[in-house]
Structure 1
Amino acid sequence: MISKRSRPRPYSSGGFTLIELLVVIAIIAILAGMLLPALSRAKSKAQGVVCASNLKQMQLSWNLYLDDNGDKVPPNENPRQGTWVRGWLDNAVAVTDNTNVVHLRNSLLWKYHETLGIWRCPSDRSVSIHRGVTYPRVRSISMNAWLNRLDPPSSLLMPYRVIERLSQMTDPSPSKTWILMDEREDRINNGYFYVDMTGLKEKNPALYQLADMPASYHGGSGSISFADGHVELKKWLDPRTKPPLLKGKNLGLIGATPNNPDVAWLQERTTGAREE
């Protein structure tokens, strides 16, 4: 009896066809496009948490200094008493202060934390190149310029209070008076952050000015601490407060910024009217 031969099965390598491979690649590309922004936001949020924690530790150091010095706040570019931290940073020139940790170790607040890492926001990517070697800059925080800062004779003529003691924080109160802030890498230089109070007494927002500029590394927000010890991630609202960062350059003075709600927010939390 003659048996029927089985028909040969078509050859298969067990791999993907070109079309199947292209479909898989397209799906991966779509998923990556969906996931990468979410991962970027998650990273920014995590860095914001670390940034706020750093500032919280520095604010605690500030409060401990007050406890040890009879309610007196640390001097801030005060010619008679020195300053809370020395050094002048420059985003355009590789000055030695950009990487000089000695200034941080000599800070009046150093003994209360003794940690270099809390002086810098993790989202601040600014660097300084010395002899061909790239180093991260050492500091991204500044202190409220209206705290124990005397710049005679100009400050004596100002209608606003230069705060020397915690007890002078009445309006605004300690919970409403900001102390430390992350400052933009292309604007930070010395240890203080100056808020121009022009327009507050006059009740005229058209006169608002921006001098120093806050950082906005965390989705348009920046860390800021207050005299009672709490820290906020402040969302800056006006585009003029958060222009694009200048890599390797210094941001010039912004100046007039009429009706800027961020200026109003800062003025209300910086200092109060000088007592007559």
Structure 2
Amino acid sequence: MENELFDYSPITERPRIEWPDGKRVAFYVGLNIEHFLLDRPSTSIWPGTSDLVPDALNYGWRDYGTRVGIWRTIRTLDRYGIKPSVLLNSEVVHHYPQIIQAGLDRDWTWLAHGRTNSILHADLTESEERAVLTEIVETIESATGTRPQGWMGPGLTETLNTPKLLAELGLRYVLDWTNDDQPYALNVPGVLSVPYAIELNDLAIFGKPTTGPEFVRMVRDQYEQLNSESEQSGRVMALALHPFVIGQPFRAKYLAEALAFLAEQPDIWLTTSDEIAEHYRRTVLATD
């Protein structure tokens, strides 16, 4: 099957992106706030028990994020004035209202992230998917007071109809296609792809024997390389976080070190995925 969702576009042959106030790198935190089902295998730290019901080991590891890790992570984000782009399972609304309230108090940006990360967004007919997406979007809108503008599927999953159906619901961008350092337009009217991080992502990084100082070094290296390249055109840097990973006590100081480094960079725009998409749409697509 040929890909008709988007066209090939080398980064060397595009209109120049200029971020606000002459900044060169647009940075956002993608904060995954998720709900997991007790009777479904999901993201696991040790696969040996992942098919058990209940899987106390892995379920408990994930559950640490909403009970403890999120609050530790919030304090660090607050310290450096970073408002995350929250990738929100709609089931979070029903199970963890205190987290929703914390985000409302801080004016977080909310993206739709499926119902639960225990079920991938796949194997749906168009009519089934339309109903599922409508319920997800309306649940998040009802709880947060704002309709989400962005989508990332559980496990970065979509169907071939997802962008079209999201556009029908008023959503304007997706994060699932992690193939670029800049936003770009999909071949679906009104829908963009915005960069997300599959490697600069705590699940990927700490799923290997990576130390805290190595994590900080990766963040610095990512920023420095993108900043160097942005002399020609602005770049996007995303840092993907999961509270059950980055929220572990022994990692907290390294997240703080990484964010402290970024917050002091003169060429960085500390922003959200919503603002990146809107700025690109207004300044690049409108003049293209």
Q: TM-score range by the shorter chain?
A: under 0.3
Q: Which has the higher contact order (CA 8 A, sep 6+)?
A: 2
The structure with the largest helix share of the pair is 2
TM-score by length of 2: 0.23
TM-score by length of 1: 0.24
